[in-house]
Structure 1
Amino acid sequence: MNLPAYPKYKPSGVEWLGDVPESWDVLSVKRLTPVQRGASPRPIEDPKYFDEEGEYSWVRIADVTRNHHYLVKTTQRLSELGKKLSVPLEPGVLFLSIAGSVGKPMITKIKACIHDGFVYFPQLEIDPELLYYIFESGQPYLGLGKLGTQLNLNTDTVGNIKVCVPSPSEQQKIADFLDWKTGQIDALIAKKKLLIEKLKEKRIALITHAVTKGLNPNAKMKDSGISWLSEVPEHWEIKPVKFLTRILRGQFSHRPRNDPAYYDGKYPFVQTGDIARANKYVSNYSQTLNNLGLSVSKQFPAGTLVMTIAANIGDMAIINFKACFPDSIVGFVPESNIDLQFLYYMFVAMKQRLLMTAVLNTQLNLNIDRIGSIPTIEPPLGVQKQIVDFLDQNTKKIDTLIAKKQQLIEKLTEYRTALITAATTGKIDVRGIEIPQGRSQ
């Protein structure tokens, strides 16, 4: 869609806005509305502040992350006392996160209370939908955070942000246009994400079948006696995990764990996030330990399969270098009759079984004894290598398709942001665009 520009422009005096349509105003947010902060009952864990039948929902940062554009549901409700100690919002009010997912805007469709990790905008003299899109573009925050630090917002910084203010009719037209176009883009993104999920399911099914049934469709099968394995090739053995691999437990015994005296040395320190971001192999890590750090941690040898056992259970990858690990990670050093990469694929196939074995305290956790006692298969070493070759080739094809879908999502997301920015700063003129469905006046 080729969209025209406005006939005449003027300098805005604001770097991120650039030149703006001649008829538009450029005003700070505090000129358009008071900027006020939410509030929290203390201590927030006290059950007297909550009531499942309460009139007002309680908004947490996770609720804002989970919802999109409009807040329609939260996981908790406040009691009347909790509401009195917080800030209640009526449907239609725009609010903005200033902690956690900093800078994320939301319009509530329900009665809700916000804590001091949010600011809100009563008495708006600008269409709330337009201001939502201005914040959604992310552009107003440019230059507000110091390089390399997290964006920090408060009532003053938000109030001092300067934005474009078209005429009331243009405000609604721009918001309607963006509702329409972002709706189309979001639908495309959702389809791509669904395709990615289906490809991931296909990948897991491929791995599980190859690891538990082998590659020979005519092989004689036997009952494994184990529910998650069912039938397996007749000549394969069934053994507990602990008979196939040595199991190592990570360690970092010093507290607090973030004490800088233990870091910035020559020893790689791989953490759960590094494993979650890895594909099959860990290639990047965010921290290193010095000699003092090494003395309180656990170093695994190169050629170890590593797996997270707390929080996101079952993220796994292979390390081809010596590295240190915290106690939220275990390592598997395979015996001579077990191929390392087969072990990796075997654990991928076992992930659901691992989750079922985990203990729920405040979060899921696994331990070495539980992992070691899980029964699994041991094909002959030659068969293991054949399965690895087959899976390397076929998972690579699926991974390539997933990567292409993810690249398309990134391009669509970039286009979405660019379109919002162009419309809300007047770089495109949407007044003459016929929109299929606009908001009611």
Structure 2
Amino acid sequence: MMAGLKPYAAYKDSGSSWLAQVPTHWEVRALRTLIRPRNERNRIDMPLLSVAREKGVFVRSMTDASENHNVIPLDLSNYKVARAGALVINKMKAWQGSMGIAPCDGIVSPAYYVYDFDIANGKFGQALLRSKPYVAHFGQASDGVRVGQWDLTIAAMRQIPVLVPPPEEQAAIVRFLDWANARLERTIRAKRRVIALLTEQKQAIIHRAVTRGLDPTVTLKPSSIPWLGDIPAHWKIWRIKYLVKEVDRRSTTGAEPLLSMRMHHGLVLFAGPLHRPPQAATLKGFKIVAPGQIVVNRMQAGNGVIFSSSLNGLVSPDYAVLDPIGAVNVEFLGELFRSRKVRAKFRAESKGLGTGSSGFMRLYNDRLGAIHVALPPVDEQAAILAGLDDELSGVNTAISRLHREIDLLREYRTRLVADVVTGKLDVRAAAALLPFGPDDSEAIEATEPESTEEIEDEENSVN
């Protein structure tokens, strides 16, 4: 059905170079004619709402610290009231798509813009304003001096042209996109399940190799460390503090390339579609990393966000940068630190607020250094890495292919939404063929659903 979509029969000039031609019967109105500012406050009895690029507007948990890293103030009396159906915009992140329709009455940060939104179908309005061409135009309507944080200017925002199809057509568009997104999301989730199974298989292979070696008949001995259990008889036990030491070199210019820690990609350049633009006002004072060092995301150590570096660059000041000082191959040590048993030990030794993934748990250097690990001789470490490369080649290829397929599906979904809400494709006939009644459709605002498969370094977002 999606492949058979056609353009409308007749188009007119929208008057906007970036919207170009639009269906003849659609209105083109300046945003100022559709919005009215609201400034109601002092309703602390209402639920707290938040705005995110991935979700739009949602009810925020008051207890789940992992949901949002912004601190909730004790006094919410100055927070703005957003009535159900209101347009809420994070003025500093509008260029990222951080806006949406309030799902219920609630309160939002006083720094947000809140407007009554005069459009027949709020879900259509949200899909339109959060579509790729509109997000880019909100970026053009924003300015400022801080890197990655530009305020949306009211004057420029009010001039943004808004496409307004007839109400029944807005409903048809919403219905079609709900249907299309549900099917694309099911496909993505199925691929994620396969990735999860392959990743589990991969982790089991790595765990066996870095804790027992490649020889399944190797003689074992008790380690005398309860959580380590038995280890190969010729391996030695070390405290981590005798294998690595922290170094703290800081950038004086901030001119070095920014690096990012990604759970499934390692330490990579902070660029491209995987990353948000950096939120720090300056990179001065960020930590310098060189090839052969190990970088630890202290708050995600228990999830295995620890990698050796092959790059020169900068990382968050909150990360630990470690130099090898013992008889150790840094790549082997990275694999060992990411193995299941060691990750569990890192989680157990982390301290902070909350528990597990629902809190801010940090692995401090003294606790990291005190942990025991078992290591083979350096030449065997290299042999184990080579053996893992051979054994995991097929699994890694399959995982990479599935990730790429998911990326392509997301790109297709983003393009489909943009083409439909801006009138490049006519979905009225397709929507009319869809069955009525309850189904498993996903809301169209979930065009970039959250994923637990990637953990990105939020510490680069230094406000």
TM-score by length of 2: 0.74
The correspondence of residues 227-266 of structure 1 with structure 2, limited to 5 A, is 227-243=226-242, 245-252=243-250, 262-263=252-253
Partner Cα distance (2:318, 2:49) in 1? 33
1:358 aligns with 2:341: no
Could you tell me which runs of 5 or more consecutive residues in structure 1 were left unpaired when the two chains were aligned.
Answer: 42-48, 288-292
Q: Which residue of 2 aligns with 1:124?
A: 118
The DSSP-based 3-state class of the residue aligned with 2:300 is coil
The correspondence of residues 33-432 of structure 1 with structure 2, limited to 5 A, is 33-36=35-38, 55-61=45-51, 64=52, 68=55, 71=58, 74-75=61-62, 85-100=78-93, 102-122=96-116, 124-145=118-139, 150=149, 152-243=151-242, 245-252=243-250, 262-263=252-253, 273-276=259-262, 279=265, 302-304=291-293, 306-313=294-301, 315-320=305-310, 326=317, 328-336=319-327, 338-349=328-339, 350-360=342-352, 363-432=360-429
Given residue 224 of structure 1, which amino acid in structure 2 is its aligned partner? S
Partner Cα distance (1:374, 1:127) in 2? 57
The DSSP-based 3-state class of the residue aligned with 1:391 is helix
The DSSP-based 3-state class of the residue aligned with 2:228 is coil
Q: Percent identity at matched positions?
A: 24
CA contact (8 A) 1:38 1:119 kept: no
Structure with greater contact order relative to length (CA < 8 Å, sep ≥ 6): 2
CA contact (8 A) 1:145 1:152 kept: no
Aligned residue among 22, 25, 39 for 1:20: 22
CA contact (8 A) 2:48 2:59 kept: no
Given residue 166 of structure 2, which amino acid in structure 1 is its aligned partner? S
Could you tell me which runs of 5 or more consecutive residues in structure 2 were left unpaired when the two chains were aligned.
Answer: 65-71, 272-276, 279-283, 354-358, 440-463
How has the CA–CA distance of structure 1 residues 11 and 213 changed in structure 2, closer, same or farther, with 3 Å as cutoff?
A: same
CA contact (8 A) 1:3 1:429 kept: yes
Instruction: Calculate the aligned-residue CA RMSD, in Å.
Output: 3.8
Partner Cα distance (1:177, 1:379) in 2? 58
Give aligned pairs, total.
401
Q: Which residue of 1 aligns with 2:31?
A: 29
CA contact (8 A) 1:317 1:344 kept: yes
CA positional deviation for 1:229: 2.0
Deviation digits for residues 34-89 of structure 1 (CA, Å, limit 9, x no counterpart): 244686x7xxxxxxx9xxxx74211234xx356x3673553369x9x966533333
Larger Rg computed on CA atoms: 1
* 93-102 or 130-139: bigger deviation: 93-102
Partner Cα distance (1:322, 1:163) in 2? 45
TM-score by length of 1: 0.77
How has the CA–CA distance of structure 1 residues 438 and 410 changed in structure 2, closer, same or farther, with 3 Å as cutoff?
A: farther
CA contact (8 A) 2:13 2:21 kept: yes
Given residue 47 of structure 2, which amino acid in structure 1 is its aligned partner? S
Partner Cα distance (2:234, 2:422) in 1? 69
Given residue 86 of structure 1, which amino acid in structure 2 is its aligned partner? Y
Partner Cα distance (1:284, 1:166) in 2? 40
Given residue 75 of structure 1, which amino acid in structure 2 is its aligned partner? M
CA positional deviation for 1:134: 0.1
Partner Cα distance (2:80, 2:320) in 1? 41
Partner Cα distance (1:359, 1:312) in 2? 12
The DSSP-based 3-state class of the residue aligned with 1:95 is strand
The DSSP-based 3-state class of the residue aligned with 1:344 is helix
Partner Cα distance (1:274, 1:369) in 2? 24
